[in-house]
Amino acid sequence: MALMGAVMSIAILGPLLIILLKSFEVQKGLFASVYSLQNYAQFASPRIVKGIVNSFVIAAGSAFLAGLFGVVLAWITARTDIPFRSVLQVLNIVPFFISPLVGGIAWSLLASPQTGMINMALMGWLGLETAPFNIYSITGIIWVVALFHTPFVYLFCIGPFRQMDPALEEAARVSGSNWISTTFRITLLLASPAIFSALILAFVLSIEDLGSILVLGYPYGIQSISTLIFEGIEQYPPNHSLGAALGILLMSITCFFIVVQRRIMASRSFATVTGRGYHPPRVNLGWGRYIALGINLAYLTLAVFLPIAALLIVSLSNAWFGHVDLGQLTTKYYTFIFSTSPLAVRGIQNSLILATSAATISIVIATVIAYAIHRTRSRMRAWLDLVTTIPIAVSGLVMAVGLLVALIRTPVYGTLWILLIGYVVRFFTYGQRSISGVILSLTADLEESSRVSGGNWFTTLRRILLPLVWPGVVGGWLLLFITFMREVSMSLLLSRGGTETLSVALYGMMNYSPIGAMAAFTMVQVALLFVAAFIFLRLTGSEGIRV
Amino acid sequence: MGSMAQGLSSGEDVKGERDRQGYLVVDHLTKLYGKNRAADDVTFTVGKGEMVTLLGPSGCGKSTTLRCVAGLETLDAGQITIGGDLVSSASSHISIPPERRDIGMVFQSYAVWPHMTVWGNVAYPLQVHKVAKDEVDVRVRQMLSLVGLSEMVDRNVTKLSGGQQQRVVLARAMVHNPRMLLFDEPLSNLDARLRVSMRFEIRQLQQRVGVSALYVTHDQTEAMVLSDRVIVMNQGRIEQVGPPLEIYQKPVNSFVASFFGEVNFIEGVIGAFEGTPVSVPVEVKCQGRMHRLFATPQPGMKAGEKVYVSVRPQDIELASESAATAETPALKGTVSRIVHMGSHLEYFVDAGAVQLTCHCVREVEAKVGTTVNALLKADRCICLSR
């Protein structure tokens, strides 16, 4: 246990230390280097300033929009008499399973100025000269990122909305306040720590996101911190030092916001709404419930139905010019993916191997560490608790840069192992949270009564704790599996020819294959994710997702 | 020489004698949580077949003591023996793990294992003790019929009521015939009515099996019903040990008196006396006048000592102002409130600096606002130091 703690500490902190050193390193000649602040001085260049500004604009804009969508959806599905509530509560999470890369690709089919389906349709109906929407813009990126980050805000807020002590609202109603002002002055204010911390989370998620901006911005000259890092690593010759310096910048931003978010979550005011077992009354919207239903369906249409329909149509069309030609339907792109494209097949294989093994390794580590933190008196407990939250505050992109610099001269580089290490180190903590949640809900009495009944430590672990924690293990495994199947940032930085994952292969096909093949391959990834998501939701329900 | 004198008695008798006196011996147990002395120099014994209760408010160290006996906590000082075996010792760094102490324990949270059936829960101790399969089934069914759950063998435990879950846990704790039963506030999660009936059931089962038991509770009536002896604890220390009735009638200090049932305290000073009388005079200042009460002193109390006169509400008799007798000491006061409790009446008497609560079985001739005499019989009053 102590060994595993030490290994994980090194695996998490090592790359960060190396990236910090690298960020001060400047190459002099072929083999010599000196330490200076030169890499950081480059931040003053207009190109990088523009990228940093873009990052903040996109992150702030999409966080605001995702916050608006998420809070509204959480409130109407948790606290109103909207029809089909239980179905909607599950459907609203579905975009969570679609990666921002997939979302970006799908929306480029819908709203690109040349062949976007929505643009073409509107131009046809309204007789417009030019396309009304351009998805390849800052606004377009904000829109797509917001759509796919909405489930995070939604999941964060629905709990507090559901578990609010009804007496707090009843007191307001009894004092003469109607439901509208009660909702704004009591409900939303009480949930505000959750809402605010969800907004921060959405901000952090989008500032570290690479997938959507790589599709919608990068090819059209829109840079962000994440694409600048990507470019620094991927260009020839690579500039690891600049990538590292930008990584340190990104890490400082995300760490700052995650610390702020933790503070808010730990604050006293949040405790007033986490009381369990309450069933607050639902607001009777009358005919307004159909407006609420309309709002929710509109979101699902934009985030799920339209993107998938677009992908499906394009993948089945012989050639794509922005409108459906029923006479030209074909399955040739699916045949192409599964028989003639080595890249696509490799991507699927690699992702399945990686996701399965990384999820398994992660969940074993997560279980041991969660056990050590919650059920032993190990001196490492506080340390483990701290160290295992670091991967959440440090984005995957930064972790990947660190691992790359650390391992580039080892045989691990260029193999699936480096991806495996990266996946485990970055994401095992999410599995740990899902298991910790279960362990914390079990009283220690359950294990102690086994001990006094005559069962030793191992018997107790095997017959009492593991069976009780098992749902958390299964849920955590599936969630990790899904995360790895849709992972973009780390995969793009760490994979090389031969070790492409689904996302990397998809990015490659976006650049080098016919649009139909790319759409078909995206559909394959979506289908794989939906199967995993379906199993996950059947087993654990939406409460199983810990963000 | 001792062995010469006892040469004729067999080893069994020695063991029997030792067990009768102290089957469980807790010897100078101290447990620290940081700087806080959760259990502070706790020493007591539980005899073979005896049921002893650790009673006290929350945080008094009773649960900590119990958990030390179970082996769930290690000691910082002292030692514990069960049936003559040393199971915990701080000085020799011995801490036999719970599973090797041969005990059964009932927790406050029931701690039924939700992933097992009723049968599975009760069979577990036998299974981990490697009892043969056929025998496990026989003994589980026997045990379940003993606690009245024969019909529930294959039920899911989480579907049972609180009382039924408590019986499952009881069966689980006793099924492997442990040498000691430990109870950690087992009834505090049950509703009041069920609590009363479960108290009797637990006591009956324990006596029928004849197992030694240590029972932790903060409920004084529970302690009275269940125990052969009660140990009152406060702030990690033992305040008093004795049979429940003795503790009720002869508390040694004001904490025990007030924790073990309702009580009135009257501040006073012991007056002059000679020898070792059953009762000593206590001077009490009340409504500007000095009164002389009589009360049983604690050993070693001297004249001039500041004390409380402690008297139970039902031991105070109320008499009308005119009917006061010279022989019985009394305090005069005004009836401020009368509450009908169904089984008895509560009279609140305001005697200036002293407020008295009196329980009377029948109504007395006194209305709110009238002046009465509260008779304080010497044999019902005790001196407790303040």
State ipTM.
0.80
Cα A390–Cα A396–Cα A399 angle in degrees, nearest 5: 70
Q: What digits encode the pLDDT tens for the residues A336-367?
A: 888 888 888 899 999 999 999 999 999 999 99
Query: Any chain B CB within 8 A of the CB of A376?
Result: no
Q: Are B71 and A452 an interchain contact pair (Cβ–Cβ within 8 Å)?
A: yes
- Please provide the average confidence, as pLDDT, over all residues in chain B: 89
Percent of chain B at pLDDT exceeding 70:
94
Question: Taking a contact as any Cβ pair under 8 Å apart, which residues of chain A between 453 and 482 contact chain B?
Answer: 453-457, 459, 463-464, 467-468
Q: Are B105 and A467 an interchain contact pair (Cβ–Cβ within 8 Å)?
A: no
Q: What digits encode the pLDDT tens for the residues B289-314?
A: 888 899 999 988 989 999 999 999 99
Q: What is the pLDDT, as a whole number, of residue B254?
A: 92
Q: What is the pLDDT, as a whole number, of residue B2?
A: 40
List the single residue in A453, A456, A464 with the smallest CB-CB distance to B172.
A453
Q: What is the rounded CA–CA span in Å between residue B310 and residue B268?
A: 10
Q: How far separated are the first and last CA of chain A, in Å rounded?
A: 26
Q: What is the pLDDT, as a whole number, of residue A543?
A: 60
**pLDDT top residue among A412 and A32:** A412
List the single residue in B98, B102, B113 with the smallest CB-CB distance to A451.
B98
Tokens 């917001």 found at: A146
CATH 3.40.50.300 residue spans of chain B: 18-253
Query: Any chain B CB within 8 A of the CB of A443?
Result: yes
CA B78 to chain centre: 23
CATH superfamily of B18-253: P-loop containing nucleotide triphosphate hydrolases (3.40.50.300)
Percent of chain A at pLDDT exceeding 70:
96
Handedness of CA B299, B300, B304, B305 (dihedral sign): negative
Query: Any chain B CB within 8 A of the CB of A450?
Result: yes
Tokens 């430590």 found at: A457
Handedness of CA A338, A343, A345, A348 (dihedral sign): negative
Could you tell me where the DSSP H helices lie in A301-415?
306-316, 332-335, 342-375, 381-387, 390-393, 396-407
CATH of span A1-24+331-547 = 1.10.3720.10
Percent of chain B at pLDDT exceeding 90:
60
CATH topology of domain A37-329: MetI-like fold (1.10.3720)
Q: State how far the alpha carbon of B89 is from the alpha carbons of A376, B44, B73, in Å.
A: 22, 15, 12
The closest alpha carbon to A533, from A90, A201, A87, belongs to A90
Provide the residue count of chain A. 547
Type of residue found at B40: D
pLDDT higher than 60, residue B366: yes
**For residues A216 and A110, is the Cβ–Cβ distance under 8 A?**
no
Q: Are A453 and B99 an interchain contact pair (Cβ–Cβ within 8 Å)?
A: yes
Q: What digits encode the pLDDT tens for the residues A95-141?
A: 988 888 899 999 999 998 888 888 888 888 888 888 889 999 999 99
**For residues A374 and A439, is the Cβ–Cβ distance under 8 A?**
yes
Enter the tokens of residue A544.
């199983």
Q: What is the pLDDT, as a whole number, of residue A31?
A: 72
pLDDT higher than 90, residue B217: yes
What pTM does this model have?
0.82
Q: What is the pLDDT, as a whole number, of residue A541?
A: 65
Q: State how far the alpha carbon of A537 is from the alpha carbons of A89, A468, A484, A546, in Å.
A: 11, 19, 17, 13
What phi and psi values does residue A380 have, to the nearest 5 degrees? -80, -5
What phi and psi values does residue A124 have, to the nearest 5 degrees? -65, -50
Q: Are A443 and B124 an interchain contact pair (Cβ–Cβ within 8 Å)?
A: no
Q: What is the rounded CA–CA span in Å between residue B94 and residue B79?
A: 9
Question: Taking a contact as any Cβ pair under 8 Å apart, which residues of chain B between 66 and 85 contact chain A?
Answer: 70-72
Work out the minimum CA distance from A460 to partner chain B, whole angstroms: 10
Q: From the CB of residue A17, how many other CB atoms can be counted at a distance below 10 Å?
A: 12
Compute, in degrees rounded to 10, the torsion defined by CA atoms A64, A68, A73, A79: 120
Q: What is the pLDDT, as a whole number, of residue A130?
A: 85
DSSP, res A329: B
Q: Are B72 and A451 an interchain contact pair (Cβ–Cβ within 8 Å)?
A: yes
Enter the tokens of residue A225.
């911190």
**pLDDT top residue among B363 and A355:** A355
Size of interface A-B (CB pairs under 8 A): 73
Beta strands at B354-360 and B345-351: parallel, antiparallel or unpaired: antiparallel
DSSP B2-55: HHHHTTTS-HHHHHHHHHHHHSEEEEEEEEEETTEEEEEEEEEEE-TT-EEEEE
Burial track A101-130 (b if 16+ CB lie within 10 A, e otherwise): bbbbbbbbbbbbeebbbbbbebbeeeeeee
Burial track A359-376 (b if 16+ CB lie within 10 A, e otherwise): bebbbbbbbbbbbbbbee
**For residues B355 and B349, is the Cβ–Cβ distance under 8 A?**
yes
Q: What is the rounded CA–CA span in Å between residue A413 and residue A24?
A: 23
Half-sphere exposure of residue A394, counting CA atoms within 13 Å on the CB side? 30
Q: Which residues contact A20 (CB under 8 A, 6 or more apart)?
A: A244, A248
Domain over B262-385 is classified CATH 2.40.50.100: yes
CATH 2.40.50.100 residue spans of chain B: 262-385
Q: Are A450 and B72 an interchain contact pair (Cβ–Cβ within 8 Å)?
A: no
Q: What is the rounded CA–CA span in Å between residue A391 and residue A400?
A: 11
pLDDT band at A546 (very low <50, low <70, confident <90, very high): low
The edge-to-edge listing of strands for the beta sheet with B306-311 is B289-295, B280-286, B264-270, B306-311, B382-385
**pLDDT top residue among B7 and A59:** A59
Q: Are A457 and B97 an interchain contact pair (Cβ–Cβ within 8 Å)?
A: yes
Q: What is the rounded CA–CA span in Å between residue B338 and residue B234?
A: 33
pLDDT higher than 60, residue B5: no
Q: What is the pLDDT, as a whole number, of residue A422?
A: 93
Give A49-55 contacts, CB < 8 A, sequence gap 24+: A50/A223, A51/A223, A51/A224, A51/A225, A51/A227, A51/A228, A52/A225, A52/A249, A54/A138, A54/A217, A54/A222, A54/A223, A54/A224, A55/A207, A55/A224, A55/A225, A55/A226
Tokens 């339907």 found at: A329
Q: What is the pLDDT, as a whole number, of residue B3?
A: 42
Q: Are B124 and A453 an interchain contact pair (Cβ–Cβ within 8 Å)?
A: yes
Q: What digits encode the pLDDT tens for the residues A279-308?
A: 677 878 888 889 999 999 999 999 999 999
CATH 1.10.3720.10 residue spans of chain A: 1-24+331-547, 37-329
Q: Which secondary structure element, helix H or strand E, spans residue A503, and what is its range?
A: helix A502-512
DSSP, res A184: I
Q: What is the rounded CA–CA span in Å between residue B376 and residue B329?
A: 6
Q: Are A468 and B103 an interchain contact pair (Cβ–Cβ within 8 Å)?
A: no
